[in-house]
Amino acid sequence: MWAVPGGRVSVRGGATEGAWPGSGGGAGRARMSSGRPAAPSPPPGGLPGPPPPRRRRRGPAPGPPLPAGGNDVFVTSRSDFRAQLRRCQRLLAPGGAPGAAPAPAPPGELRLHGLGLAVPRTINLALQLQAGAGGALRLHASTSSVPLRAPRHRRPAAPDGHESGDGDGEDGDPPRHNSAIHIRLCREAPCA
């Protein structure tokens, strides 16, 4: 935690939290108030005032697009395990999630994704689902590396004043990678 004059910073979890590329969730997103003064009101004469300052927010790195359709569950270590298990069981049940549109993925298939510290929990979820299904589920596990994006305040400033949106380490250190696991659960065997 560090002090920002005129603002409040809340940092959730470690570097792995909220680093899923393309995830639009708010988990792990740190918010920092800019501390800038409020926009001045336009003068009484009706002349247009300066544009209001843009408020910047840090967000997850824009990564590759998520796989289309399917039941994808991104596991974090912050959520309650039993709630995650219930949600996965509901998604695996015939019909999938209530009120959801028919997904292009075959029914009875679920994909779990875990990053960093959430990898053991992801494995635990998959094994618990398999144990609860009485052996009717097949696990297909694969691993990968996910490049992490450095926070904005650590990236070197561009010489022309524009902040580059691509923080892949071209100007400084190579990007850090985090290990990820992807487990596909399906009822039919073998998985396609």
Partner 1 sequence: MENFRKVRTSEEEMPLPFPDLPPDVVEMKVKEGSKIRNLMNFAMAQMELKGRRQIVFSGCGRAVTKTITCVEIMKRKLGGLHQVTKVRYKTVLEVWENQDPLPNGPAQNLTVHKNVPSICILLSRDPLDPNQTGYQPPEPRHEAGENTSGSSTKGLKRPLPPPCEELLPKKLQVQVSDSPRGLGTTTGQLDH
Residues at the contact surface with partner 1, assessed by CB under 8 A: 116-117, 119-120, 123-124, 126-127, 138-145, 174-177, 179-181, 183, 190-191
Nearer to partner 1, 85 or 123 (CB): 123
Task: Map tokens 């002090």 to a residue.
Answer: 3
3-state secondary structure of 152: helix
Nearer to partner 1, 159 or 190 (CB): 190
Task: Give least dist CB 59 to partner 1, A.
Answer: 23
Task: Give least dist CB 105 to partner 1, A.
Answer: 18
Q: Which run of H or of E encompasses 175?
A: none
DSSP secondary structure letter of residue 126: H
The span from the CA of 61 to the CA of 28, in Å, is 12
Nearer to partner 1, 29 or 121 (CB): 121
**Do 37 and 57 touch, CB atoms closer than 8 A?**
no
The span from the CA of 189 to the CA of 187, in Å, is 7
Closest alpha carbon to 111 in 59, 167, 68 = 68
Bridge-based pairing of strands 109-115 and 72-75 is parallel
Nearer to partner 1, 46 or 135 (CB): 135
Nearer to partner 1, 32 or 108 (CB): 108
R_g (Cα) of the chain, nearest Å: 22
Task: Give least dist CB 189 to partner 1, A.
Answer: 8
Nearer to partner 1, 32 or 119 (CB): 119
Task: Give least dist CB 117 to partner 1, A.
Answer: 7
Task: Give least dist CB 139 to partner 1, A.
Answer: 6
Task: Give least dist CB 191 to partner 1, A.
Answer: 7
3-state secondary structure of 74: strand
3-state secondary structure of 162: coil
